[in-house]
Amino acid sequence: MSLEKFFNPGSVAIVGASQTPGKVGYEVLTNMINAGFKGKIYPVNNKAASIEGLKCYPDIEAIGQTPDLVIIIVPAKIVPSIMQQCAKIGVKSVIIITAGFKEVGQEGQMLEQQVIQIAKQAGIRVIGPNCLGLLVPANNLNASFAGNLPKKGIIGYLSQSGALLAAILDTANAHGIGFSKLVSIGNKADVDELDLIEAFGDNDDTKVIAGYLESISNGNAFMRLAESISQRKPILLMKSGGTGAGALAASSHTGSLVGSETAYEAVFARAGIVRCPSIKLQFDFAQAFANQPLPAGDRVAVITNAGGPGIMAADAIEREGLVFAKLTDETRQKLAAVLPPAANINNPIDILGDALADRYKLAIDMVSKDANVDIILVLLTPQAMTDAAATAQVVAEACRGKIGKPILVSFLGADKVAHAIEILRNSGIPQYDSPESAVLTIKTVVDYVRWRKQPKRVVKLFSVNRRKVETIIEKHLRQGIREIGEMDSKEILEAYGIVTPKGAIATSAEQAANIAQQLGYPVVMKIWSPDILHKSDVGGVKLGLKNAQEVIDAFDLMMYRTPKKMPGANILGVLVQEMCTGGREVILGMNRDRHFGPLMMFGMGGTMVEVLKDVSFYMAPLTNEEAKQMLINTKTYKMLKGVRGEKGVDIDAIAEGLQRLSQLVTEFPQIQEMDINPYMVGQEGTVPIAVDARISVEKV
């Protein structure tokens, strides 16, 4: 159902309009009037004949016609009866500003459910309750108790916090930032972030989507929708509430390392969403996206009237992994012909401290035509000869000339550049308080462009034995066993084409020696018990056993010591398996996030994974490119590639292992957590081996 009547109503009824300044009902009504709303405004108040010169109505039915939008500002217990009146006269769009619903406890939650049940039966869409309202500058609509209506712009903003939206609005008004729409979603009992992101995505007046969220209602739907809309419009979100204890009950390495914050980071990366750590940075990024064209690449040219800021920008460009543009010979020759002899005609282009606006104009014109330049950063410090205001006009003219390349500006200083900054803001030119802030914004825009240029996601499906996996999982769930033992875990991996070491369970020392003889030395021995997850913690792992006597001794020692360390553990025997040597130990893992689904993990393996925490995460299912990027995102990737003459490991084989694991956990939602640790990988052409594995399952 369209949200158009929220954004472009012909008439608005305010139920709970007040005559008393300072009350919400008064502020909403006067905000509507002061904004210059062109449609009909119907105050509803059964104790007043008129408010602010507008006729009052005792109830909605008394209006005599159906308002396009109804704003409810009455005590929470009265809201259901008002909703019934709305349903009776055919209202389809309602904003409930009133608080006192699920945010206050169980009684409020029941009241909220009652309101939404009425709405659904009548086909009414509801924003709120417990919200600030909404603002649409283009339609002179200020249906809120926030501040003044901002200027018209192309940024659509949604916020789960009304108080934060008020602060954002105040900041935006102070800096002249315009919006297409601003919406406070409050408890999002009906209209939520998905509805608004979709509406903003389809709205031609909105070019940039921004917002603040504390939670996401439907994780999978959110990821799919955002991924689709990000291909057309940038989405810039602040997301709070991601810290905390995380997976306290996790049994796997992956589970202990992942938290909700990790999942959100992975989802945002997958969907192309720009994660904004603060209001300031969100505005920094939004201004660039809203007011400048997207760059073709990552090559940055810096024009400055001082060496110091130019060096600061150069350092920031290198730190952020951008490219310092190398000017063509033609550009440098043209610059040399018009700039003073002492000027630097290489990047950063230093046009010297006595540069007036005309010198900036020449430099911008020439650099903008250079085929090696994708982005221009203009720096200015207020020196004795500097005409900051005229220079700001030059930059504005260059942008109006539609050179096709983004221009970002950092005019450093305060009073001496204040008028210039005002000119830049009025012209829609992104202005930053430091070269580093400007460069960080450039990096953010470039990363978004790279994301949009990614090839279409193609997830490879491998030939597997699903029936075997179904049988093992069903057996464990039927018996109420959550943790799948190592042997069954390895059977699951084998069914999905992941190679595991050969081995067997021994229940006596002599049987262990016979198994070892058949496998060939050296061998590994592990205590076998469904109650012992971390075998090494109880001395239940022995490596590199070279002969029968060592195997017999290890068996006897394990069977003697382990019950003392783990009284009550059901010890079934000892696993004897071939020992995998050579290569690197890595870890492949998965933790199923309750909102978004399977979250894949990769890192360096062995016992140090939780100490080093050098891991990367990505949402399943994985493409080949995404699997490889997971490797690249770790600090130890260079070790895998090979350093100082040492040959690297088979990167493609690791990526395939991640994809096979991704297919497994995607096809079996019962799998909640799992690790393959270590996953032993050798040089190119060798077969990786899943040395140890752990899988936990739950009914779904």
Torsion (CA) 422, 424, 427, 430 in degrees, nearest 10: -120
Question: What are the chain's domains?
Answer: 4-214 (3.40.50.720), 293-452 (3.40.50.261)
Binned at pLDDT 50, 70 and 90, residue 539 comes out as: confident
List pLDDT tens digits, range 160-179: 999 899 999 998 888 889 99
d(CA 157, CA 279): 12
The answer to whether 686 touches 583, Cβ cutoff 8 Å, is yes
DSSP-derived secondary structure for 594-643: TTTEEEEEEEE-GGGHHHH--EEEEESSPPHHHHHHHHHTSTTHHHHH--
d(CA 422, CA 106): 50
Task: Report the share of the chain in percent with pLDDT over 90.
Answer: 77
Tell whether the model's pLDDT for residue 71 goes beyond 60.
Answer: yes
559-562 long-range CB contacts below 8 Å, 24 or more apart? 562/527, 562/529, 562/532, 562/538
Tell whether the model's pLDDT for residue 444 goes beyond 50.
Answer: yes
Binned at pLDDT 50, 70 and 90, residue 263 comes out as: confident
List pLDDT tens digits, range 374-394: 999 999 999 988 899 999 999
Tell whether the model's pLDDT for residue 369 goes beyond 90.
Answer: yes
DSSP SS3 for 138:
helix
d(CA 615, CA 606): 13
What integer is the mean pLDDT of 352-357? 93
DSSP-derived secondary structure for 103-125: GG-HHHHHHHHHHHHHHHHHT-E
pLDDT at residue number 530: 78
Task: Report the share of the chain in percent with pLDDT over 70.
Answer: 96
Closest CA to 261 of 273, 247, 281, 248: 247
pLDDT at residue number 532: 82
pLDDT at residue number 250: 40
Helices first, then strands: H and E counts in the chain = 24, 30
| Residue 221 burial (CB count, 10 A) | 13
The answer to whether 386 touches 309, Cβ cutoff 8 Å, is no
Closest CA to 348 of 327, 331, 330: 327
List pLDDT tens digits, range 94-141: 999 999 999 999 999 999 999 999 999 999 999 999 999 999 999 999
pLDDT at residue number 607: 60
Tell whether the model's pLDDT for residue 571 goes beyond 70.
Answer: yes
Taking the whole predicted model, whether its pTM rises above 0.85 is answered as yes
Output 214 or 469, whichever has higher pLDDT.
469
Binned at pLDDT 50, 70 and 90, residue 574 comes out as: very high
List pLDDT tens digits, range 644-656: 767 889 999 999 9
d(CA 42, CA 430): 41
User: What value does the mean pLDDT of the chain take?
Assistant: 91
Binned at pLDDT 50, 70 and 90, residue 214 comes out as: confident
Closest CA to 275 of 304, 319, 239: 239
List pLDDT tens digits, range 402-433: 788 999 999 999 999 999 999 999 888 999 99
d(CA 497, CA 281): 46
List pLDDT tens digits, range 580-621: 877 888 999 999 988 899 999 999 876 666 666 788 999 999
Binned at pLDDT 50, 70 and 90, residue 311 comes out as: very high
Tell whether the model's pLDDT for residue 255 goes beyond 60.
Answer: no
What integer is the mean pLDDT of 548-555? 93
DSSP SS3 for 694:
strand
Binned at pLDDT 50, 70 and 90, residue 260 comes out as: low
Tell whether the model's pLDDT for residue 246 goes beyond 70.
Answer: no
Highest mean pLDDT among 254-263, 501-510, 575-584 belongs to: 501-510
Beta strands 541-545 and 503-506 are: unpaired
d(CA 314, CA 321): 11
pLDDT at residue number 582: 76
